[in-house]
Amino acid sequence: MRVSVSWLREYVDLPADLPTGDLEQALVDLGIEVESVVDLRETVTGQLVVGEVREIEELTGFKKPIRFCRVDVGDANGTGEPQEIVCGARNFAPGDRVVVILPGGVLPGGFAIGARKTYGHNSAGMICSAKELGLGDDHSGIIVLPPDVAAKPGDDARPVVGLDDVVLELEITPDRGYALSLRGLARELSHAFDVPLRDPALVPAPGGTPEPAYPVEVRDTIGCDRFAARLVRGVDPTAPTPSWMQQRLVTAGIRSISLPVDITNYVMLELGQPMHAFDADRIVGALVVRRAEPGEKLTTLDGVLRVLASDDMVICDAGLPNPGAGEGAGIPISLAAVMGGETSEVIAGTTDVLFEAAHWDPAMVGRTARRHKLFSEAAKRWERGVDPALPLVALERAVRLLTEHGGGTPGAEILDIDHVRPRTPISLPADLPTRRIGVEYPPARVVALLERVGCTVAQGADRLAEDPGSVGMASGAGVALSVTPPSWRPDLTDPADLVEEVVRLDGYDRVPSVLPTAPPGRGLTPGQHRRRAIARSLAERGYVEVLAHPFVSSELADLLGLPADDPRRQAVRLANPLSEEEPLLRTTLLGPLLGILKRNLGRGLRDLALSEIGAVFHPRVDAGSPPAMGVDRRPTDAEFAAADAVVPAQPVHVAVVLTGDLDPAGWWGPGRPAGWADAIEAARDVLDAAGVPAERVEVRAAEYAPWHPGRCAEVRVDGTVVGHAGELHPVVVAALELPRRTCAMELDLDALPSAPVTPAPAVSGFPPALIDVALVVDDSVPAEQVRRALEAGAGELLEDVRLFDVYASEQLGAGRRSLAYKLTFRAPDRTLTVEEAVAARDAAVAVAAERVGAILRGA
C-alpha cells in the first residue's frame, strides 16, 4: 500500500518536523512492515515545470505516431521562447497544461534528460507521464493537469503533481486489514506519537429508510451480512475528478477513470470500505444478491469472460430473465466484492449513479479471488476483514463528494439490509499479559491500552477502578476482564490476541531478550550418534543422501508387487493431503526413494547410489479417534496417553538403491556394475556403523517383495530379521520403468540392539614405542584373523596395529606368505621401557602362533 504523509496529516497531528526515519521506526514498532519511505522532493532533480502546449505537428513516416510539440515553459528555459519537444503520447492537445522536465534534469532511476536530435527534429526536454515521475504505474499517456490547477507556465510542477510530499510504501500483514486505509494508519500513528486522532468515520451519517434507495434482495446473508445503497440523480457526466483527488489516487497507484469511480476508490483508501458505482439507467430491474449457479458467465470490467462457481457471490439484475437460475434470479452484473461487470459500469454519459457499500464474507472473497486470479484492491481488503459498521458512513462520504464536484441530487431513500452479528466479549485474565510476556503490566495499564485500540472493557475493569490498590488488584490476579473488540478488528478473537495488542502498544522494546538456560546434558543421544554414524558411513562409500517426501500413492503397493496380506499395504491415509495423487503415508522407504532414482535417471544420470534415513508409518489397528483437547489447560496424562495411542508407529529405517556402474570405466579398464552383493555389503556397512558386531550378523537367502526371489537376502541380528537386500524383481523394475538389475536394501534401525556406550579414548602425553613384526602364515589365513590375534595377545599397552606389507617368495615355501604389522605401544602414565615393549610384542606373537600357526620371520 502506498500513501502520502500529507494525506495522513489530515487525520492525525504528526509533529511538523518529524524526520522520515522516526516515522519509519514508529511504524515498525507497531508491527507494520515498511517497504520504503520516499521523499518525493529528492526523486527528481533539475527543473520540473508546468508547460502549456502551443502547437503540435504530427510526424509521419515512422513505425509509431510521433508528435513535434512547442511548449510554453515561461522563463524557465532562460529565453522565454517555446520549448521544442518530441513526444509519442496522444492524450493531449494544444492548450493543455503538462509537466515538463528541462535538459539537465534527472528522473527517478537516474534517467538524465538532455537535448538531442531525434526523428529529424531537435528535442530539448521531456513531457512526463506518472510512471516516469515515479508517481504510479500508468504509462499510457502523459500527465495532463486539470483546469482547476492554479499554475502558469514556468511554475515549479512539484507541488502540482505531489512531488513535494513523502510517500510510504507499506506491506500489511493478512491479520491487519484495517491498516489498508488512511483511517487505520492514522489510528496507529496516533498511538505511536500519542497525538489526537480525527477519525473520518466518526461523522453523522443518516440511517436506512423504510423506503429503499433501490429494490434489493439478499438471498445469502452469510456471504453478505450487510448491504447498503443510495442513488444520486442528475450527475454532470462531464465533471472532472478534482486534481487533488487524482493526485492522491496516482500516488496510491490507482489510475483515474471517472469522477464516480474515482470517488469509490478514494473512499476505499480513506475509510477502508470498498464500494461500487452502478449506472442506474443500465439496470433493468431489482438487484438480487446470491450465490452464482455453476457455469454462469460474467464479463468483468477488465474485459474477461469468467465462468462462475457455486461459491461465488454475484449481484444480479432481476429484470434480465435467467431461466437456468430460477425465477427472479436475474443475470449477474457484478462479481461481488471483487470486480464489477461491463453491463452496469459507469460510462461517459452516466447521469444517475447508484452507490453500493456492503459487507462480504472474507473467506468467500478470498476463494473467489484465487479461483479467478483476480486480486483487486477491493478483494485484498475484503479477505483481510473490513469494518461492518462502515457502509452507511462510506455512502454518505461518497454522495457528498459526488454532489460537490459533479452535481446531482442525492435520493432521500437509503437502503440498509443489516444482518451483522454483534461481537462476542472475550474473557481476559488481567494478569495474563504479565504471565505470558514476563514484563509487569499493571491491570490499569492493560485496560488503558485495550481501550486505546478501541476495545470496550467491562466487569473486572470496574473493580479495578473502584479499588486499584487492594490485595490482588495491583497484579490483576483473579480478575477477569470482559473485552469487546471494536468492529474494525476482526483479528481479535482470543485472549492471546489481546495480549499481543498490549505488548505491541506498550512497546516491543520493553520486552527483554533473555536466553533460556540450556538444560544439562551430554550432547547427542545414542540414537543420534548412531544415525549420524550410519549416514557418514554410507556417504564415505559413495551413497548420496536424499530426503524424500513421506507421501505415496495408493497404487504403490501394487507396483512393488506386495502380497495381498502384506502388512505394508496397510497405510495411514491423510485427512488433508498435499496432493490427492499421494494421500498415503509410506510404509517403506523404497517407494519414494525409487521415485527419486527415476527422476534423476530422467535427467540424464546413469550411475546412481542413493540413500535415505527416515521414518515409516504403520497404523495402529482399531486405534479409534484421538480425544478432543482444548487450549485452555494442559492435557492430563490420560489424555496424552489416549492421543498417543492413536498416533501411528513410526520406526526409523535406512534404505539404499543402486543402478549403473559402481566403479566407473575409463582408461584404467572396464567399470563394474552394481549388483546384489553391493546391496548386501551396504547392509553390513550400516550394521558396522551402528555398532553391531559382525559375529552377531547373519545373512540368509530369502524371498521377500519387491526383491528378486533368487537374489534376495534377509539380514538377521541375533536371529531377528531386521531387513532385506538384493536385486529388485524384474516385474517391479519394469512397472517402475527402472533399469534392469536395479538393487536396493532396507533395514529397520529401531529393531537393532542398543549400541554399546564407548567411553571417550584417553589421550596419553607419553611417547609411543614402535615395533614391527613379520609373521609367516599359510595363504589361507586371512590377515584380519592375524590382526585380531595380535590385539588379543598384546594386552592393554597396544594402541594400534596396522598391516603395512604382504610378501611371498620361494624361500618362505609354497602356500606361505609374510604379513608385516606395525605395532604401536603406549602407556597412559609413563614412558615404556624397552623391556616392557618387547614383552608385549612377544605376548602378541605367541597368541598369533597359537591361533593361526604364525611364525616370527627370521626367528
DSSP 404-421: HHH--EEEEEEEEEE-PP
Residue 255's pLDDT is what? 85
pLDDT of 776 > 70? The answer is: yes
Share of the chain above pLDDT 70, in %: 96
Mean pLDDT of the chain: 91
Mean pLDDT value of segment 804-821? 90
When pLDDT is averaged across residues 572-596 and rounded to a whole number, the result is 93
**What confidence tens digit (pLDDT) does each residue in 444-467 have?**
999 999 999 999 998 654 555 555
Give me the pLDDT at residue 250, please: 84
- Of 2-11, 636-645, 764-773, minimum mean pLDDT range: 636-645
Kindly tell me if the per-residue pLDDT of 470 is higher than 50: no
**What is the predicted pLDDT for the residue at 39?**
85
Instruction: Answer whether residue 473 shows pLDDT above 50.
Output: no
pLDDT of residue 639: 86
Distance in angstroms (rounded) separating the CA atoms of residues 771 and 421: 92
Residue 472 binned pLDDT confidence (cut-offs 50, 70, 90)? very low
Task: Find the mean pLDDT for residues 280-286.
Answer: 94
* pLDDT above 50 for 118: yes
Tens digit of each residue's pLDDT (9 = 90 or more) over 302-311: 999 999 999 9
According to DSSP, the residues that pair with 133 across neighbouring strands are none
- Long-range own/partner contacts, residues 62-67 (CB < 8 A, 24 or more apart): 62/119, 64/88, 65/90, 66/119
Q: Tell me the pLDDT tens digit for each residue of 209-232.
A: 998 889 999 999 999 999 999 999
Specify which of 4-8, 248-252, 664-668 reaches the highest per-range mean pLDDT.
Answer: 4-8
Q: Are the CB atoms for 552 and 584 separated by under 8 Å?
A: yes
Q: Determine the average pLDDT of the residues in 342-355.
A: 93
Nearest to 193 by CA among 23, 69, 57: 23
- The DSSP code sequence of 182-215 is HHHHHHHHHHHHT--B--TT-S------SS-SS-
- Residue 429 scores a pLDDT above 60: yes
Whether the bond between 759 and the residue before it is cis, its omega within 30 degrees of 0, is no
Residue 858's closest CA among 744, 775, 767, 754?
A: 775
pLDDT, position 439? 93
Greater model confidence, 744 or 255: 744
Question: pLDDT at position 760, please?
Answer: 63
Answer yes or no: are the C-beta atoms of 399 and 233 closer than 8 Å: no
Name which residue leads in pLDDT, 139 or 757. 139
Whole-angstrom Cα distance, residue 185 to residue 269? 11
Residue with grid cell 541380528, as numbered in its chain: 717
The C-alpha cell at 728 is 529388485
Give the lowest-confidence range in 76-90, 177-191, 517-531: 517-531
Confidence label for 623 from pLDDT (cuts 50, 70 and 90) = confident
807 DSSP 8-state letter: E
- Report the sign of the C-alpha dihedral through residues 14, 19, 24, 30, in that order: negative
- Lowest mean pLDDT of 523-527, 678-682, 683-687, name the range: 523-527
Give the mean pLDDT of 370-380: 93
- Which residues, at least 6 apart from 787, have a Cβ–Cβ distance to it below 8 Å? 801, 803, 821
DSSP string of 687-707, one letter each residue: HHHTT--GGGEEEEE---TTE
Query: Whole-model pTM above 0.85?
Result: no
How far apart are the C-alpha atoms of 369 and 367, rounded to whole Å? 6
pLDDT confidence of residue 475: 58
Reported residue count of the chain is 859
Query: Does the structure show a pLDDT above 50 at 687?
Result: yes
What would you measure as the largest C-alpha separation in the chain, in angstroms? 125
Res 311: pLDDT: 93
Percent pLDDT > 90 in the chain is 72
Q: Is the pLDDT of residue 804 over 50?
A: yes
pLDDT grade for 642, boundaries at 50, 70 and 90: confident
Instruction: Collect contacts of 778-781 with beta carbons under 8 A, ≥24 apart.
Output: 778/815, 778/816, 778/817, 778/853, 779/808, 779/815, 779/816, 779/817, 780/815, 781/852, 781/853, 781/854
Per-residue pLDDT at 251: 86
Amino acid 810: pLDDT: 85
Of the two residues 525 and 617, the one the predictor is more confident about is 617
Distance (Å) of CA 767 to CA 538, 801, 826, 830: 35, 16, 7, 9
- Model pLDDT, residue 471: 40
In whole angstroms, what is the distance from residue 157 CA to residue 101 CA? Answer: 9
**Among 174-178, 394-398, 434-438, the range of highest mean pLDDT:** 394-398
